[in-house]
Amino acid sequence: MAGIRLSVPQTARKGEVIELKALIQHPMESGYRRGSRGEQIPRNIITRFECLYDGEIVFSADFHPAIAADPFLTFYTRAVRSGTLAFRWTDQHGEMWSDTATLTVT
């Protein structure tokens, strides 16, 4: 059960470059840590992030174990039209989490 927090402006002018922030709760277990009995804790990380603007990928990222826990991203996109911004995370096992935000472009 991964909590998600998004920062998306509610409105923007057409053509304006807007700042987007996406935060998801995930331990991003690197696979290099050891537990209290010395056992190696297996790797468990989100490997892919995608931001879709009305279904079209406008930004994406590949994560390696060096991305900190509770991965956080700030990135930008051009407000081309009113629509839905979808944020999608996929982990190494294929499990997926997503959330959406509506953008009104004037």
Which residues contact another protein (rule: CB under 8 A)?
A: 3-7, 17-18, 21, 23, 25, 27-28, 30, 32-36, 41, 53, 56-78, 80
Residue nearer to another protein on the CB measure, 3 or 104: 3
Residue nearer to another protein on the CB measure, 31 or 102: 31
Task: Give least dist CB 49 to another protein, A.
Answer: 9
Task: Give least dist CB 71 to another protein, A.
Answer: 7
Task: Give least dist CB 15 to another protein, A.
Answer: 9
Task: Give least dist CB 39 to another protein, A.
Answer: 10
CA dihedral 26, 27, 32, 38 (to 10 degrees): -150
Structure tokens given for 98 = 């997503």
Asked whether the beta carbons of 101 and 6 are under 8 A apart, the reply is yes
The SS3 of residue 75 is strand
Angle value at C-alpha 11, between 89 and 16, nearest 5 degrees: 85
| Separation between Cα atoms, residue 61 and residue 75, nearest integer Å | 11
Residue nearer to another protein on the CB measure, 6 or 86: 6
